[in-house]
Structure formats: structure tokens, C-alpha cells
């Protein structure tokens, strides 16, 4: 497996930069394409600092077919890990066309370039946000899909496209069928233990963990806890937080699985990547205060539209078929997020 070259789209971003580190450390060559719409090139300098190895970087847009064609002709890519896309739920409601263009059209262009280069192994960044309403708070892969915002729908549309693409192989009896893993992430948080790479959101963060970190460092005055009247153990929302390093290790396991017996005849399969247990907002705040020995001032605010009371993964399929499970604890996630935040108060700027 070592010596293979992996194309990482969106590799300068939060999860992508962590994936670059794990891939390089596992002996892969890495080519990144990123348009830096939501990231800085400094993340890849830091990847080099951590690993002592460099990735080959293309500053470009996945919607630019010419760049992709050139890239596939220059490098012998075995697998693509596709992170590139826009991910802010609120922004997607304001700019649906931008989200569909970047995420759905961008993926179409990438798939065409892959097909032309006969590169047919793909690991796709999907999201737990593709799931629809459910009686159970613990989500399994066979649960019905039903995203409720344009961002989530863009992910579900891409999943549909990828399932159709794979299904077409059995009709055409393709000799080199598509092998596709749809990885549905729950709530990635934390950072590499070096504190050199981490999440660097633009402006005021939407997500809980970066918001809490910025309150703890004094950039933001206080956290608003969105609702304390949910039917949960302490009334606040429960999510399945997963350490970003555990998460990217799941991608390496997925690459191995795509090359293995389970995908010998091709296929497109979804896997939850989550810890399999939930934490409440107040539990996150408590863990943060304990690990950092700082206060996180907060106020109780109204519920945020579109939020579920509770959502966590059934991660059994990933354990069974990818031999992957989350290993790090909530304290690890918080300590690593804090190391990144405190060493880089202004992010990569
Ligand atoms: P991120 O914004 O940090 O990384 C995405 C990267 O893609 C950025 O570097 C951005 O510049 C790049 N990009 C965006 N559009 C592009 C385009 N058209 N061409 C080239 N590059 C482009 O986000 P992240 O948190 O690292 O997320 C990575 C992937 O995982 C995304 O697809 C996201 O939807 C998905 N995901 C993220 C989360 C999460 O909570 N972070 C959860 C579930 C799924
Ligand atoms: C977590 C909990 C909030 C902020 C989002 C996307 C999802 C996925 C991951 C990409 C909830 C509460 C939050 C705050 C709060 N991304 N909260 N105060 O909503 O589970 O998922 O990120 O695919 O698509 O929707 O994550 O971090 O925003 O919220 O009380 O300032 O924290 O209500 O219970 P979410 P989050």
C-alpha cells in the first residue's frame, strides 16, 4: 500500500490537513488540490513541519476540469479522498446555488476527470446531516435520508450520484468498477496533538467547539447554549463528538477496505464515523473548564432552528468492515483543541 499516491481535494482545510499528516505518516504520497476558499496555505507548511514531508500542492478549483486533467496526467493517483466543498449550514440557506455549484457540480467535474483517468477509488466526506427524522437518536447507515438544509441536501445528492455511478457498473459489466466509501461524519472536533494544525474558522464560529475555545481564550465574551429544555439528561443538545485524528484514521482504513476483498467487485457503501456515544453541551463546557482550568462563561439562549435534541452514531459497521473505531476520549479532544487554540490565538493568520 505504501508508495501509492492519494489525491486529497480540500487538503488545506481542517479535516484535509489532518488527513495529509496521517497519509504521509502511513507512507503514502499526497497530492492536494484546494482553492483556499476556506483555508490557508500555511496549514500545509505545518503538515510539512509535523511530518518532515511535503505534499504536492495545486491551488485550483475542483470545478476546473483542465487543472484536474493535468493533475491526473502528471500523477499516478490510486485513490481520491474528496473533502473539497462548502460546509456552513446557515450560509447554505442564504446561498443555495453557490453550495450546489461547489459541492454537487464540483463533484461531477471531479468524477468525470477521474473516469477519464481511470481512477475509480473514492472516499467521500459525507455527513450525519444526510439522515432524516428518526425515532431513535442512534443513527445506523440504513436509516432513511432526509436532510433539511441545502448543505445537507448537497451531500445527499452527491451520495445519490455516487450510488448511481456504482450501480451502472453492474449494468455495463465494467471490468474496472467504481469502489466508493461514503463516510458520514458526526461532529469532528479537536486537533493534531502537536498543536500545529487545527480548525481555523472564518469570522464568528457556528460550531460549538471553536466557539467554546474562542470564549476560553477571551476572543468572544460568552457562549450561548442553544436550549436547555430538550428531553435529554441535562436539557441541552447531545451530539457524537469525534476526534479529528480518529476521523482521518478512518479514511486510511477505508482506502485499505476499497482495495480489499469486500470491494473486489466494486460497490458504494456508507459508513458512520462517530464515537457511538453522545455528549451534551454542558458536558462539553465542563470538560473544557476541567482540562483548561479556565471558566467558560455561558448563558442559556433559545433553541437554534433545525437542531435535533440528540444524535449519535451506531459505529458498528465501520468496526466490522473497516476495522475502525474511535479511540480518543472527550478529554483528549478538548485538550488538543485547546493546545491548538492557545498556541495559535489568531489561527493561521
Ligand atoms: P474546510 O472548509 O476546513 O475544508 C474544505 C476545504 O475545501 C477548504 O480548504 C476549502 O478551501 C476547499 N474547497 C472548497 N471548495 C472548493 C473547490 N470548489 N475547489 C477546491 N477546493 C475547495 O472543511 P472541513 O471541516 O475540513 O470539512 C471537509 C469536508 O468534510 C467537507 O466536505 C465537509 O462538508 C465535510 N464534513 C465536515 C464536517 C465538520 O463538522 N467539519 C462534518 C461532516 C462533513
Ligand atoms: C453542537 C451542539 C448546538 C453552538 C453541524 C452541522 C453538521 C455537521 C457538523 C458538517 C448543538 C449546540 C452550538 C453554539 C450551542 N457539519 N451549540 N451554542 O449542529 O450538531 O452539526 O456541524 O457536515 O452538518 O449542522 O454542530 O457544533 O453547531 O452544535 O449551544 O454556539 O452545540 O445547539 O446541540 P451540529 P454544532
By most ligand atoms within 8 Å of CB, the mutation choice from 41, 61, 84, 92 for ligand 1 is 84
* DSSP type of residue 63: T
Which residue would you say has higher pLDDT here, 1 or 91? 91
CA atoms within 13 A on the CB side of 268: 20
Rounded to whole angstroms, the Cα distance separating 292 from 245 reads: 20
Render pLDDT for 300-348 as a digit per residue (tens, 0 to 9): 999 999 999 999 999 999 999 999 999 999 999 999 999 999 999 999 9
> Given this model, what pLDDT does residue 255 score?
98
- The gap between the terminal CA atoms of the chain, to the nearest Å, is 36
- CB of residue 303 inside a 6 A radius of ligand 2: no
Rounded to whole angstroms, the Cα distance separating 262 from 293 reads: 47
List of domains in the chain: 5-343 (3.40.50.720)
Ligand that lies nearest to the alpha carbon of residue 232, given by its number in the listed order:
2
Q: Is the pLDDT of residue 1 over 80?
A: no
- Encode burial over 126-164: b for 16+ CB neighbours within 10 A, e otherwise: bbbbbbeeeeeebbebebebebbbbbbbbbbbbbebbbe
Render pLDDT for 157-182 as a digit per residue (tens, 0 to 9): 999 999 999 999 999 999 999 999 99
- CB of residue 182 inside a 6 A radius of ligand 1: no
DSSP string across 173-211: T-SS--EEEEEEE-EEE---TTSSS----SSS--SHHHH
Atom of ligand 2 nearest to the CA of 226: 30
Closest residue by Cα to residue 250 from 155, 338, 64, 126: 126
Q: Which whole number is the average pLDDT over 260-274?
A: 97
Hey, whose CA ends up nearest to atom 27 of ligand 2?
Answer: 207
The β-bridge partners of 31 are: 7, 56
Hey, whose CA ends up nearest to atom 9 of ligand 2?
Answer: 187
* DSSP H helix total and E strand total for the chain: 12, 15
Q: Which residues are catalytic?
A: 151
Q: Which whole number is the average pLDDT over 284-313?
A: 96
The β-bridge partners of 32 are: 8, 57
Q: Is the pLDDT of residue 38 over 80?
A: yes
* DSSP type of residue 32: E
> What percentage of the chain has pLDDT greater than the value 70?
100
Distances (CA, A) of 110 to 30, 115, 145, 232: 17, 9, 24, 42
Using the Cα atoms of residue 96, residue 98, residue 101 and residue 107 in order, give the sign of their dihedral.
negative
> Given this model, what pLDDT does residue 2 score?
75
- CB of residue 16 inside a 6 A radius of ligand 1: yes
> Given this model, what pLDDT does residue 137 score?
97
* DSSP type of residue 282: H
Residues 6 or more apart whose Cβ sits within 8 Å of residue 155: 103, 126, 127, 129, 130, 147
Phi/psi for 43 (5° steps) reads -60, -35
Atom of ligand 2 nearest to the CA of 212: 31
- CB of residue 210 inside a 6 A radius of ligand 1: no
Residues 6 or more apart whose Cβ sits within 8 Å of residue 261: none
- CB of residue 248 inside a 6 A radius of ligand 1: no
> Given this model, what pLDDT does residue 248 score?
98
Amino acid at each position: 500500500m505504501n508508495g501509492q499516491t492519494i489525491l486529497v481535494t480540500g487538503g488545506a482545510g481542517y479535516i484535509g490537513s489532518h488527513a495529509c499528516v496521517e497519509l504521509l505518516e502511513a507512507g503514502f504520497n499526497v497530492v492536494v488540490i484546494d482553492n483556499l476558499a476556506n483555508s490557508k496555505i500555511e496549514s500545509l507548511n505545518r503538515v510539512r513541519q509535523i511530518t518532515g514531508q511535503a505534499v504536492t500542492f495545486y491551488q485550483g478549483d475542483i470545478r476546473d476540469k483542465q487543472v484536474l486533467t493535468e493533475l491526473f496526467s502528471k500523477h499516478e493517483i490510486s485513490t481520491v479522498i474528496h473533502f473539497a466543498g462548502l460546509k456552513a449550514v446557515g450560509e447554505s440557506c442564504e446561498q443555495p446555488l453557490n453550495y450546489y455549484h461547489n459541492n454537487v457540480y464540483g463533484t461531477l467535474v471531479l468524477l468525470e476527470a477521474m473516469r477519464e483517468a481511470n481512477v475509480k477509488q473514492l472516499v467521500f466526506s459525507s455527513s450525519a446531516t444526510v439522515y432524516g427524522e428518526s425515532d431513535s437518536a442512534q443513527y445506523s447507515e440504513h436509516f432513511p435520508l432526509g436532510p433539511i438544509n441545502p448543505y445537507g441536501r448537497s451531500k445527499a445528492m452527491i451520495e445519490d450520484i455516487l450510488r448511481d455511478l456504482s450501480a451502472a457498473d453492474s449494468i455495463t459489466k465494467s471490468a474496472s468498477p467504481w469502489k466508493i466509501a461514503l463516510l458520514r461524519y458526526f461532529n469532528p472536533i479537536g486537533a493534531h496533538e502537536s498543536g500545529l494544525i487545527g480548525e481555523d474558522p472564518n469570522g464568528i464560529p457556528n460550531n460549538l467547539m471553536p466557539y467554546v475555545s474562542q470564549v476560553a481564550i477571551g476572543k468572544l465574551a460568552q457562549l450561548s447554549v442553544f436550549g436547555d429544555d430538550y428531553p435529554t439528561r441535562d436539557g441541552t443538545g447531545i451530539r457524537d463528538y469525534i476526534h479529528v485524528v480518529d476521523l482521518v484514521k478512518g479514511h486510511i482504513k477505508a482506502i485499505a477496505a476499497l482495495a480489499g476483498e469486500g470491494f473486489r467487485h466494486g460497490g458504494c457503501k456508507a459508513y458512520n464515523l462517530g464515537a457511538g456515544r453522545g455528549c451534551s453541551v454542558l458536558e462539553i463546557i465542563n470538560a473544557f473548564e476541567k482540562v483548561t482550568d479556565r471558566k467558560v462563561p455561558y448563558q442559556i439562549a433559545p433553541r437554534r432552528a433545525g437542531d435535533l435534541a440528540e444524535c449519535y452514531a451506531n459505529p458498528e459497521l465501520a468496526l466490522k468492515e473497516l476495522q475502525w473505531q474511535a479511540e480518543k476520549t472527550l478529554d483528549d479532544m478538548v485538550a488538543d483543541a485547546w493546545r491548538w487554540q492557545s498556541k495559535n490565538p489568531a489561527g493561521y493568520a
